[in-house]
Amino acid sequence: MPEQLPPFTQRTAGPVVAVGECMVELARGGDGRFGLAYGGDTFNTAVYLARAGIPVAYATALGDDPYSGGILDVARNETIDTALMTMLPGRMPGLYMIETTAEGERSFWYWRDRAAARELFESTGAAAAAAAIAASRLVYFSGVTLSLYGPRGLDVFAAALTAARDAGAVVAMDSNYRQRGWGGDVTRARATFERFWRLAHVALPTFDDEQGLWGDTTPIATADRLSRLGVAEIVVKNGAAGAFLRGPDGDSHVPCPAPVTPLDTTAAGDSFNAGYLARRLCGDAPVRAGTFAHCLAAVVIQHRGAIVPRDATEPVTHRSA
Q: Model confidence over 127-147: pLDDT tens digits?
A: 999 999 999 999 999 999 999
H/E element, 223: helix 219-228
Count CB atoms within 10 A of the CB of residue 138.
25
Q: If 0-12 CB within 10 Å is exposed, 13-18 middle and 19+ buried, where does residue 216 land?
A: buried
**For residue 255, pLDDT beyond 70:** yes
* 16-306 classified as CATH 3.40.640.10: no
Mean predicted lDDT score pLDDT of the chain: 92
Rg (CA), the chain: 18
Residue 234 β-bridge partners: 203, 246
Give the orientation angle of helix 41-51 with respect to helix 268-281, to 10 degrees. Answer: 40
* Predicted confidence band of residue 320 (pLDDT cuts 50, 70, 90): low
Encode pLDDT of 210-223 as tens digits.
999 999 999 999 99
pLDDT at 98: 79
Q: Where are the domains of the chain?
A: 16-306
**For residue 3, pLDDT beyond 50:** no
Encode pLDDT of 162-205 as tens digits.
999 999 999 999 999 999 899 999 999 999 999 999 999 999 99
* Predicted confidence band of residue 12 (pLDDT cuts 50, 70, 90): low
* Catalytic positions: 270
Contact 60, 35 (CB under 8 A): no
Q: How far is CA 167 from CA 8, 98, 132, in A?
A: 13, 39, 12
- The string over 78-92, giving b where at least 16 C-beta atoms fall within 10 Å of a residue's C-beta and e elsewhere, is bebbbebbbbbeebb
**For residue 250, pLDDT beyond 50:** yes
**For residue 314, pLDDT beyond 70:** yes
